[in-house]
Structure 1
Amino acid sequence: MRYKQMTRQEAVKRCYELTPQLREYDEFMYLSVRWLPYTMFFHQKNYRSAVINTNEMGFRMSKSFSGWVSPANFPTDELVNIVIGGLTAMGTGATLDAYTISSILSKLTGEIWLNFGGSGYNCVQEAILFMLNQHRFKKIKNIIILSGLSTLTFEGLPDDFTTEYGKYYYSYGLAHYMNKYNEGLAYGINSNPPCNNSAAKKFIPKLAERLNNWLDDLAQNPMEKVFTDTYIDIKERLNRAVKMTVESAVQIKQLAKSMIPKCIISCSRSLDGVKSGFIKMNKRCFTQ
């Protein structure tokens, strides 16, 4: 049997037919992202829908025995459990807030579990998000870290986007638009109002170049650019992702060690083959 190769639009349409809730996640992620310091971005505040709901800080709501809970305005002296991670921890794909991991754990344990998942985050952003909000809690019983898969995915981006702090969701978009910003600054510094024919001759080519760049952006949305990871060595990519994920998990444990007796790290399925590396590098922080 021959299969017709779908276009991107056809594939997205079919995806929405099979899992209609994913349309809500796409709109939630791409149409309402907030740009923030330190973590770069986070969810929209007070987002409301039949599938996803967030609080005044952008955290997804969790269902518990005491009703809907979230990190914002949570009583500092009340015992709490936390789920940290990226897409999986946030609950991407769940049809309701009540079906996220934190909500299900609340139902199973009869305890409060807060959702610290960041959609599109890598492991470093997950750790930073916890660091910025740990002061809100005095009594943390358990922290579960569901991390690794997003970081592994981002490590498949081209080496042009490699930094000393790893790769991240908007690696291409940030570089593209910030370079445009730098070009604008350079243009402003190097150009003066034309006052003679010589100045005009220098000004017109620069204006033409900026116009061409603008037309190029209109012709192709840079955020629609498709990358391939076939040239990347999978072992090297895996090692980088594991190293970053472990280091971030250790950092979270160090931040919370005065408040928490146990830290549980869950490897994503793609990292199962190197789970021994997690155990060896951080035995005291890993619990099966």
Structure 2
Amino acid sequence: MQHYYFPVPEQPYLLWFQKPDESTEAFNTDHLGFRFTVSGDRRTSPGTYQGDGPVRLLAGSSSVFGVGASADETTIASRLWSEYAPAEPWFAFGGQAFNSAQELVLLTLFHHMLPPVSEIVLFSGVNNLVVSRLPEEHQGVHGAHYQAEPPVDDSLVPGPAERVQRAADRTAAHLRTWQALATAMGARLVFALQPLAPWVREEPSKEEKKLFAELDKASNFRSVHSDIVSMDVGRDYATALEKRCQEIGVPFVNTTQLLAERATPKDWLFVDRVHMTDGGYDMVARILAEELELR
């Protein structure tokens, strides 16, 4: 994980994005800042693709970028391209710590550089729920982002039910525009809920227990977000998002539930409560390919 703790340069319109032409033992980015996806001896990205298409987009935030993956080969997009849905190249079309507004802006800024797109899987949802904690003054029309100042008074924090509805409404508002763009592009759009570790199972694996205990010493994530990391909130959020997806006409994949059904107590899925291991990302890639009947 040490390779993933790096400054994210400021960018107009997006607020921030990954550093371009970055090369580490764990990941590599193209000249635009997108991470490469890999299949065998081939690798590609939005900034380097030379073919005529079509391609597939895995869109979202840090889990799409692949924080926690040990190499470019083990991200969700790479596992889809190399193993589970290899018929067309996949782009890892995500930015770290993005909310749904930033995810949408990313597409509008780089759409003109894309070849024909057949499939868009929007793997998202967590960050909108996390920043829903911020008070109304930071929410605006399009929702808060991670650079907003946190409230100093916990009494200003909305309750879990309000946070779920607020986050689901923000996500749905931007999803409608995603749907309009996908239709214009001739692409199928699917929304897949990004899982949190506590939503998947009550009892983490032994490796996750050790990691979470260490992370809790250095981070306040669990204490600050204790009201949304229960399985009940995870189920409520999935239900709210699924309802909105149905209203918009976008297929919904409850990745959290499907992971819970497939994972064994010994499966080490997460490196922290948001990001996954190579094995976790591989399981998500397999689930997406099977649920969406991708080849």
Q: What TM-score comes out, normalization by structure 2 length?
A: 0.66
1:267-278 pair list within 5 angstroms = 267-269=193-195, 270=234, 271-278=237-244
Conserved 8 A contact 1:143-1:262 = yes
Q: What is the alpha-carbon distance in structure 2 between the residues aligned to residue 256 and residue 279 of structure 1?
A: 14
Aligned residue pair count? 211
Q: For the pair shown, which has the larger CA radius of gyration, 1 or 2?
A: 1
Higher relative contact order (CA 8 A, sep 6+): 2
Report SS of the residue matched to 2:118.
strand
- Return the offset for 1:240: 1.2
Q: Percent identity?
A: 25
Partner of 1:92: 67
Conserved 8 A contact 2:172-2:241 = no
> Which residue identity does 2:247 align to in structure 1?
M
> Which residue identity does 1:278 align to in structure 2?
R
Say whether 1:109 aligns with 2:85: yes
Conserved 8 A contact 2:65-2:93 = yes
> Which residue identity does 1:63 align to in structure 2?
V
> Which residue identity does 1:286 align to in structure 2?
P
Q: Moved runs in structure 1, 4+ residues, more than 4 A?
A: 225-230
Unaligned runs of 5+ in 1: 1-20, 174-224
- Return the offset for 1:228: 5.3
Q: What is the alpha-carbon distance in structure 1 between the residues aligned to residue 105 and residue 242 of structure 2?
A: 25
Q: What is the alpha-carbon distance in structure 2 between the residues aligned to residue 147 and residue 229 of structure 1?
A: 28
Choose which of 113, 118, 123 in structure 2 pairs with 1:136. 113
Q: What TM-score comes out, normalization by structure 1 length?
A: 0.67
Partner of 1:118: 95
Partner of 1:286: 251
Partner of 2:267: none
Say whether 1:51 aligns with 2:26: yes
> Which residue identity does 2:85 align to in structure 1?
T
Choose which of 126, 140, 147 in structure 2 pairs with 1:170. 147
Q: What is the alpha-carbon distance in structure 2 between the residues aligned to residue 227 and residue 131 of structure 1?
A: 37
Partner of 1:265: 191
Unaligned runs of 5+ in 2: 196-233, 254-295
Conserved 8 A contact 2:120-2:187 = no
- Return the offset for 1:281: 2.3
- Return the offset for 1:89: 1.3
Indicate the structure with greater helix content: 1
